[in-house]
Amino acid sequence: MARKQKKTRRGKGTLFLIAGLLAASGIFRLSGGVGEAVAREFESFSEAEVIAETQTCSADLEPVLAAIQARESRLEEREAQLEKRMQELAHAEVAIRENYDALVTAEEELAATLARVESAAEDDVSRLTAVYENMKPKDAAALFEEMAPEFAAGFLARMRPDAAAEVMAGLQPKTAYTISVLLAGRNADLPKE
């Protein structure tokens, strides 16, 4: 049975091969004639007819060519505008970077100035606190009686406890009480945890 199928396949393959060769031969013969036919057709045109046909084609293509050239001009103009815009953006970017750098420098200088000012103010308050600590308690108490209670409480909080106690002892009871309340409530608003 397998032998019978082999014979059938072999026979069909041969037929297809012969058919393919015949078809290729026909195509080859026809293609050779086509070139000659086209050549004969062009020989029948006179030179004047070819020129006239070319001019007719050129006349038909002129609006298309004009449209293409107009579009090309618009594209070139748009490209020039985009290039100009890109240059402007590059200059703007440089200016922004320079401004940013200047702002950073100014911020650093301001932070340094504020630190110096805070340090100087802290030094001044520390010196004044030391002066009050070294005064006679009676004289310091007289000064603290004249101060606003908030201001006096600030100095007393910074003083050594023994010096602050002597000044508080010399104050009027009402003034001492007000300052004590302010000192006790100074940190009441701070978060607990």
> What pLDDT does residue 46 have?
59
Residue 5 vs residues 11, 14, 15, 58: alpha-carbon distances, Å:
10, 14, 16, 65
For all residues of the chain together, what is the average pLDDT? 82
Please report, for the chain, the start and end positions of each structural domain, with discontinuous segments joined by +. 135-193
> What pLDDT does residue 13 have?
72
> What pLDDT does residue 101 have?
94
Nearest Cα residue to 155 out of 147, 169, 118, 185: 147
> What pLDDT does residue 67 have?
86
Q: What CA–CA distance (Å, rounded) separates 124 from 129?
A: 9
Query: Is residue 192's pLDDT more than 90?
Result: no
46-73 burial, b at 16+ Cβ within 10 Å, e below that, comes to eeeeeeeeeeeeeeeeeeeeeeeeeeee
Query: If pLDDT is split at 50, 70 and 90, which confidence band does 75 have?
Result: very high
The residue with tokens 């100074």 is: 186
Helix/strand/coil for 12? helix
Q: What CA–CA distance (Å, rounded) separates 13 from 8?
A: 9
Nearest Cα residue to 181 out of 158, 152, 159, 161: 152
- 61-70, 99-108, 182-191 — which is least confidently predicted? 182-191
The residue with tokens 């086509």 is: 34
Q: What CA–CA distance (Å, rounded) separates 110 from 104?
A: 10
